[in-house]
Amino acid sequence: MAALKPNSFVPVRACLFDMDGLLLNTEDMYTSCNNVILREHNRPDLPWNIKAQLQGRPGPEAGEIFHAWAQLPISRTEYQRRITELQRQHFPSAQPLPGVPELLKTLSESGVHLALATSSHTANYHLKTSRLDSLFKHFPDDQKILGDDPRIPPGKGKPAPDIYLLALETINSRLRKQGKKEIKPQECLVFEDSVPGVEAGRRAGMRVVWCPHPQLLKEYSGREKEVLAGLANGGKDEQVKEVMHEANAGGEGKGRGWPGRRDDGWAELLRSLEGFPYGRYGIRNV
């Protein structure tokens, strides 16, 4: 894929959003809750090289990575009871990150279609958003895809592209009913803070804005271009292996699901969502 200049892209018609650490300050809450348990059992705090592998992934997959590292002297059941208790205490105090309310309001008023694509399961989603109706009203209920959505097959969470393709389908389903033109993946802009999430967006054939936690950005210092291309996992995930196997099986068009290339212009790093550059994506700021 050759590098593309910004003016060679079609205007963005849909924006698809992750939630934790992107819209809300809940990633730090996840870390704090885990650190409470780790300290209770004389284990070190969760380091960012491990945290980076947990972000964006569905709970079961993130849990396997966490427990393999933590080696806690308690059962998974006891851990789950304690982490749920702590999350119920902290998640209801979640707040939007800087620039988020203005961004969602502007996009809604500009006519851009919005969908949510979060790995958070239903119970945690409601804990985090119960006091934020004014923020999440911008997402129609049928365009909110959560981590336990049965339409996402087991093992197909981020970094696989399924959740973003499903989010787009919910928008297109509405457009079809209205007799309007459907939106193509290349007309979508994914907003992500996690490395697996960026890869998921790239493999969905969509443009991506990566807005990471400062500590995550520090962890990937010097590898930013790999992240933006969707290559930072190094092909280690089974989902990536499966896609590559299918792509190499022969036949034109078998490459669907491939990540991108460095400097191909399909992804951008932003340190904050404040002052978002709407014009760069062909979005009219009304």
Positions marked catalytic: 18, 20
Cα 32 from Cα 49, distance rounded (Å): 16
Q: Which residues contact 112 (CB under 8 A, 6 or more apart)?
A: 12, 13, 14, 15, 283
Distances (CA, A) of 261 to 64, 166, 250, 254, 258: 29, 24, 21, 17, 10
CB atoms within 10 A of CB 224: 16
Cα 146 from Cα 123, distance rounded (Å): 10
**Residue 247 buriedness (CB in 10 A; 0-12 / 13-18 / 19+):** middle
Contact 139, 191 (CB under 8 A): no
